[in-house]
Amino acid sequence: MSNLSAVEPPDNPARSNETGHQDHNLLELRGIRAAYERIDVLFGVDLVVPEASVVALLGPNGAGKTTTLRVAAGLHVPSAGDVLIAGRRVNGAKPEELARHGLCMIPEGRGIFPNLTVRENLRMMTYVGRSLAEIEEIAYSRFPRLAERRTQTAGTLSGGEQQMLAMARGMATEPALLILDELSMGLAPIIVAELYEMVAQVARSGVSILVVEQFASTVLGVADYAAIMVHGRIERAGRPDELAADLSKAYLGG
């Protein structure tokens, strides 16, 4: 397994210019180390999300994928390394401030209010300074099925619809950078495929996406670049077709 520490595609325009500043990388992690209490989980992660592209972060359970996303979203302060968003070092920035500016993270487990209706869940997103009507327009235009369920409590929606609602809440903020953690968790493959079709649509509108996924084959169909993470390190990175062969090694060892 070759050791390529960063997603930095050779034919991508998103490369360092002469000064080393990554002008076209919306998100860049440099040498990120992170720990929970005294237990180290990330050991120098380098990862790049170029503008208007989908980057998939793959790997087995416990590899540190979710921690990497949490660091990127400002929810976990790294013990070393730099988090750069749009070329600016943002270590220590408040996650709510990053969210307000356009970084949206949809966590594992959906992050919706199960006792509220679809409409009320969307109403909770008016904190971004948009009216409910605007938010509903954004949400229902992307996820028409939610319009039919607007008065239904979120907890009674199907798993796929709940995930759609979570994504709709995220899209209501009109994010520039979307971070998705385990979109497929607990969903049937057909629903996962449908959701990733929506992710592809979102990506086509210019939103940069960093996605963690265990359904590797599905996400590789959507991703522009991918990285395989094992034991807190990026083991391999590149274009999806280059990585497909290494996936089983990463998951099963060897």
Task: Choose, by CB under 8 A, the member of 60, 81, 102, 107 that binds another protein.
Answer: 102
Question: Is residue 178 at the binding interface for another protein, with CB under 8 A as the rule?
Answer: no
Task: Identify which of residues 26 and 250 has a Cβ nearer to another protein in the complex.
Answer: 26
Please tell me whether residue 35 binds another protein under the rule CB under 8 A. no
Taking alpha carbons only, the member of 82, 59, 79 closest to residue 212 is: 59
Question: Quick check: 183 binds another protein (CB under 8 A)?
Answer: no
**DSSP letters along 184-250, please?**
TTT--HHHHHHHHHHHHHHHHTT-EEEEE-S-HHHHHTT-SEEEEEETTEEEEEE-HHHHGGGHHHH
**Helix, coil or strand: residue 137:** helix
User: What letters, b where the CB count within 10 A reaches 16 and e where it falls short, cover 172-194?
Assistant: bbebbbbbbbbbbeebeeebbbe
Considering the complex, what minimum distance in angstroms separates the CB of residue 86 from another protein? 4
Judged by beta carbon, residue 14 or residue 63, the one nearer another protein is 14
- Determine which residue in the list 86, 112, 165, 212 makes contact with another protein, applying CB under 8 A: 86
Nearer to another protein, 215 or 225 (CB): 225
DSSP H or E run through 252: helix 247-252
> Does residue 207 belong to the site contacting another protein (CB under 8 A)?
yes
Q: Name the one range near another protein by CB under 8 A: 29-37, 98-106, 115-123, 155-163.
A: 98-106
# residues contacting another protein (CB under 8 A): 26
Residues contributing to the site for another protein (CB under 8 A): 26, 51-52, 77, 85-93, 97-98, 101-102, 137-138, 174, 176-177, 205-208
